[in-house]
Structure formats: structure tokens, C-alpha cells
Structure 1
Amino acid sequence: MEEEASVAANLLDLTLRPFELTDVDDFMVWATDDRVTRFCSWDTYTSIESAVKCITENILPHPWIRAICLKNRPVGSISVTPNKEDKFRGEIGYTLAADYWGRGIATAAVKMAVKIVFREWVWLERLEALVDVENWGSQRVLEKSGFEKEGVLRKFYLHKGKLKDMVMFSLLRS
């Protein structure tokens, strides 16, 4: 019961906010952790310079990416990327520092992001998430956030040199 109260208190301090270049040290906590980057499309960062470049060139200009913060300190990231061909679709993705896994933080962040994006992007009808079949934690986050599992896409994604099966999840505005 005490642990549940602690989790609830942490979630009260949970916010999503735009990244700043000054977040680079916090970003490095999860971006240098192979456990976190195992399922990410990008490789583990090995230098502060490459992280600064990523924040400057990829994160800051991104149409919708936010730092997942506890007490305004970034512990992860969440993004929604519009589909280039079909404007009514977007893809959600997230990462969270390993020290915060299993506390409901990713689920709460996904729920918050969904509400914000559907409110801000009135044209968006469908959010999708592609998850590695081996990433059980992320699949559970999506299920708890209201996403529906649509099926497995076999040998769908070339990830770090290997063809991977991916699970498609979706959430509709309606």
C-alpha cells in the first residue's frame, strides 16, 4: 500500500514539456543506457556532443516531442510524428529511464500525450504505435493506455541490422 501511495504521489508530479538544450545531462541518463535503447530506432549515445547534436537537430525541430518530467526533471521522452502520406494518422513513441520502469509513469505519460495531441491536432483521427514483439513492457503500457492490438507485422522493420516482427497498436479519436 505504501508503494502505491508513492507511485500516486510521483504521478502527481508528472508533466510533459518541450525539451530544452539544458536537458542534455538528463537526456544522457537514458540515452546512454543499452537497456533503454534496446528497442529504440537510434543507437545508444556515447558522447555529450552527439546528444547535443540530436537535441538541436532532431528533438527541438520535431513537430511534437516532449520531455516526460518528474518535478520538471526529464526522465524520458514521448513523441507523436505525423504520417507523411496520411495526415489523419500519427505514430506515438516513448522512452523512459530504466530507474522509472514499472511505476506507471510511461502509461500516465502516454495518456497525457494522447489527450493533448488529439486536442491540438484536430485533423488527427488515429494514433499508431509499432512495438517490437519482444518489448512486453511497452505493449502493456499501450494496452493500459487504451490502445488496441491490431496484429503482428512479420519481418516488418529492419532494426539495428535485424529484421524484426512488430506489433501494431492503434487508438482512434472516436
Structure 2
Amino acid sequence: MEGSCGSDESSRISLRLLVLSDIDDFMVWVTDEKVARFCTWEPYASKEEGLNDIKEKILPHPWFRAICLDGKPVGCILVNPNSGNDRCRAEIGYSLESKLWGKGIVTRAVKMVVDTIFKEWPHLERLEGLVEVDNVGSQRVLEKAGFQREGVLRKHSILKGRTVDDVIYSILSTECEN
């Protein structure tokens, strides 16, 4: 990866499209209550649910990648684009098998996305990350990846039936140019 936001070339971490044959690996993190805790979704209850989501939501998504360790999917990362007057910004999201937390895998994946998304989407000027205030691990990921903490959005979203405060982070395309 090129660019000032990239790091370690020899990483065992890669990003690729998730495919239906990845279902068994996918089910590892989407059935984990620890992973789902700060996500909008509940832990998946069945392989059928996982296959349906891959077919109906993941494959048609504009930018969704599997986070792979030595080629094996261990998590996912996505960029949700905005439209209209907000098309200059998008939001990043990610999840990872809980047994792999704290190893720098998601931080590396976020850096990889930052190094490519502004090139793939030249209209994009700002990439945002919204993190629930209690999700300190995810806040550290964004900080290590070069995102700037902008503040706390009070009572900003509803997560699993309760209104939560979100911390907003951002990185600008100009902060990643050579």
C-alpha cells in the first residue's frame, strides 16, 4: 500500500470480497455475542440467516470486504457512502472475531481502506467513524489509524433499543495524500 496513512507491507492481513463459500468463517464472528455487542445486529441464529445476509446485503453492498488473516476471513470492513449533498463523506464500519481483538488487525484493515477508498471514490473528501462511547477498543482503532476525534454526539443513535452517545471521528482525503 502506498500513501502516508499506510503501514507494514509484510502484513498477513488482506482485504477481499466476501463470497458465499466463506459462510463457515463468517458465522464465527456473526454468532459471537461479544462482537455483536456494539453492532446494530444481533448475533446470527443460523447459517441460513448468514447466507441470506451475504446474498441480500453483503454482495450488493457498494464497498464491503472480508478482513482476512493468511487468506482466511476473520472479520469484515465496510464503507457506507452518502448521497446528494452529503456524497463528499462516507462512514466506515468493521467487526472482527473476538479472539483476535487487540492484535492490530482491524487497525491495519482501516489503514488499508483509507489508503484505497479516496482513490476508488475520488468524490470522497471525508471518511467518518461513529463509535458508541463505551466502545473504547474501537475508538483506539480509529485513533491509531489516523482519524481525528471530533466530539461526542449526545443521544445520537438507538442501539438495541436504547439511545446512546456516539463519538465521531474523521479522516480527510487531504490527510492521506503523498
Instruction: Give the TM-score normalised by the residue count of structure 2.
Output: 0.91
Q: Distance in 2 between matches of 1:36 and 1:145?
A: 20
Gaps of 5+ in 1: 1-7
Match of 2:140 in 1: 140
- Partner of 1:150, secondary structure, is strand
- Partner of 1:66, secondary structure, is strand
Gaps of 5+ in 2: 1-7
1:67 paired with 2:66, answer yes
Deviations 1:89-129 (A, max 9, x none): 00000001011100000100000011111111111000001
Tell me the CA shift for residue 149 of structure 1: 0.5
- How do 1:7-156 and structure 2 match up within 5 A? 12-85=11-84, 86-156=86-156
1:165 paired with 2:165, answer yes
- Partner of 2:75, secondary structure, is strand
Deviations 1:136-164 (A, max 9, x none): 00000000000000000111101110000
Q: Distance in 2 between matches of 1:145 and 1:165?
A: 22
Deviations 1:60-100 (A, max 9, x none): 00000100001110000000010134111000000010111
Q: Which runs of 4 or more aligned residues in structure 1 lie more than 2 Å from their structure 2 counterparts after TM superposition?
A: none
- Partner of 2:102, secondary structure, is coil
Match of 1:5 in 2: none
Q: Distance in 2 between matches of 1:50 and 1:16?
A: 23
Write the letter of the residue equivalent to 1:81.
Answer: N
Match of 1:3 in 2: none
Instruction: Give the TM-score normalised by the residue count of structure 1.
Output: 0.93
Q: Distance in 2 between matches of 1:116 and 1:68?
A: 15
Write the letter of the residue equivalent to 1:66.
Answer: R
Write the letter of the residue equivalent to 2:54.
Answer: I
